[in-house]
Amino acid sequence: MKRSLTSIVAVAALALATSACGGDSGTDGPIKIGAINGITGLFQTPEVPKAVQAVFDEVNKAGGINGRKLEFISKDDAMNPQRSTEAAIDLIESEEVVALVGSSSAVDCGLNRATYSNNKIVSIPAVGVDATCFSSPNIAPVNPGPFKLITAMLYYASETLKRDKVCMYYTVLPGSGGGIETAIKEWTDITGKSLTVKDLSVGQGDPTPYLVKAKAAGCQAILYNAQVGPWFAQAATQGMTDVDFIMGANSYTDANAALIPAKINAYAGTEWQPYTDATLPGNERWSKIVDANKIQRTAFSQGAVMAADVFVEVLKGIKGDITRESVTNAFKNMKPIQYPMVGTPYVFGPGNAHNPIEGSRFVKVLNGKWQVLPEGFIVPGKN
């Protein structure tokens, strides 16, 4: 029997309408949760979905949420824009996930923010990368992000280290220029201070001209975010042993610590408690999860555990059916959660922009290794 075009269209329309109301995966089946991660490509975070899955496995072993298991579906977008948009649509329309938890893609927020808003679904990324992760109504990462971190680094230089001449030598990644300017303005608004030098043209070539310029300007503290080895070798050659160099979280690795000459003062700002010390508040919970599941210890896996923990706590507070609508409402109306691995409480809330986590804890290189500094979290304007 042939089906008429009209009936086919009607069936398709019904399917689309059903999909648009997705996230209602019943009241006794698994609760589906999605994520978009960089597993391949230029920005790789394979430990993130593994750590989220480990937290959800723990919940499932304890009986789930109201007797329902958590089913986690991670999509690899490989930093490919088409794959990222297709992954978001598939998770929302085909898999009918109730939320996205623990995403760690470098392109997800910018490409999919409108999709999340149109479908009234929330995303709680483990790692927010670009500015749109922190300026969207339905996205709220669990990390401060690169721009709040810059504000904290500037504040640390001027208010904690008491440096009068603070300079910035940075490489600007595509799409991040506006975020850097916003971060500098926030520091200036809090402290009333301005940069002595701002040079956003640093690349991979010879660092000598930049360092000579910094010496001539009398820079006492320098924020820096590019290649570590050649920069600090040349800084040592230039005799810049009285300068405090402050790097972002991307430079906080054991390999980079080993590259810093002994007489150079090199610091790094972290987004969570420094992962190199498992005894710090909040790190015990994270290290237990990653060690038990043989997952790499990184700052990104800290964000994964935190995103999953926050999601589970909010889920436990939902009265009635757990659907996309009830989950979104729960996050929009949640009370702040004090999570010891970060400097400020996490809250989603009803606003059009979300950057709830602020501040940074700082580490310094000593004998080729990172040493946690005693000040605790530095939150601009609050300490």
Interval 58-95: pLDDT, tens: 999 999 999 999 999 999 999 999 999 999 999 999 99
pLDDT given for residue 86 in this prediction: 98
pLDDT given for residue 26 in this prediction: 53
pLDDT in tens, 150-166: 999 999 999 999 999 99
User: What is the domain count for the chain?
Assistant: 2
- Per-residue confidence at 256, pLDDT binned at 50, 70, 90? very high
pLDDT given for residue 3 in this prediction: 34
3: in domain:
no
How many residues are recorded in the chain?
383
For residues 44 and 135, membership in a common domain is answered with yes
For residues 316 and 258, membership in a common domain is answered with no
SS3 46: coil
Structure tokens at 100: 């996205």
Distance CA 354, CA 116 (A): 14
For residues 299 and 221, membership in a common domain is answered with no
pLDDT of 25 higher than 90? no
pLDDT in tens, 103-156: 999 999 999 999 999 999 999 999 998 889 999 999 999 999 999 999 999 999
Q: Is 277 exposed, middle or buried (0-12, 13-18, 19+ CB in 10 A)?
A: middle
pLDDT given for residue 194 in this prediction: 98
pLDDT given for residue 16 in this prediction: 35
pLDDT given for residue 178 in this prediction: 78
For residues 266 and 373, membership in a common domain is answered with yes
pLDDT of 2 higher than 60? no
- Per-residue confidence at 27, pLDDT binned at 50, 70, 90? low
For residues 373 and 235, membership in a common domain is answered with yes
26: in domain:
no
pLDDT given for residue 323 in this prediction: 96
Phi, psi of 376 (to 5 degrees): 75, -165
Q: What is the mean pLDDT of residues 33-44?
A: 93
The fraction of the chain above a pLDDT of 70, given in percent, is 92
> Residue 367: which domain range?
146-270+361-378
pLDDT given for residue 362 in this prediction: 98
SS3 63: coil
Question: What is the maximum span of the chain, computed from C-alpha positions, in angstroms?
Answer: 86
pLDDT in tens, 214-231: 999 999 999 999 999 999
For residues 209 and 103, membership in a common domain is answered with no
pLDDT of 174 higher than 90? no
pLDDT in tens, 326-373: 999 999 999 999 999 999 999 999 999 999 999 999 999 999 999 999
187: in domain:
yes
pLDDT of 177 higher than 80? no
Highest mean predicted confidence (pLDDT) among 18-27, 247-256, 310-319? 310-319
5: in domain:
no
Q: What is the pTM of this model?
A: 0.88
Structure tokens at 361: 């804890």
Distance CA 232, CA 256 (A): 10
SS3 171: strand
For residues 265 and 286, membership in a common domain is answered with no
For residues 225 and 87, membership in a common domain is answered with no
For residues 245 and 367, membership in a common domain is answered with yes
13: in domain:
no
Distance CA 237, CA 225 (A): 20
- Report which of 83, 133, 84 is spatially closest to residue 110, judged by C-alpha positions: 133
87: in domain:
yes
For residues 108 and 131, membership in a common domain is answered with yes
- Per-residue confidence at 23, pLDDT binned at 50, 70, 90? low
For residues 331 and 248, membership in a common domain is answered with no
- Report which of 187, 180, 199 is spatially closest to residue 159, judged by C-alpha positions: 187
Q: What is the mean pLDDT of residues 199-225?
A: 95
Structure tokens at 284: 């015990």
- Per-residue confidence at 9, pLDDT binned at 50, 70, 90? very low
Q: What is the mean pLDDT of the chain?
A: 91
Cα→Cα distances 186→82, 155, 269, Å: 35, 10, 17
Which amino acid is located at 46 in the chain?
P
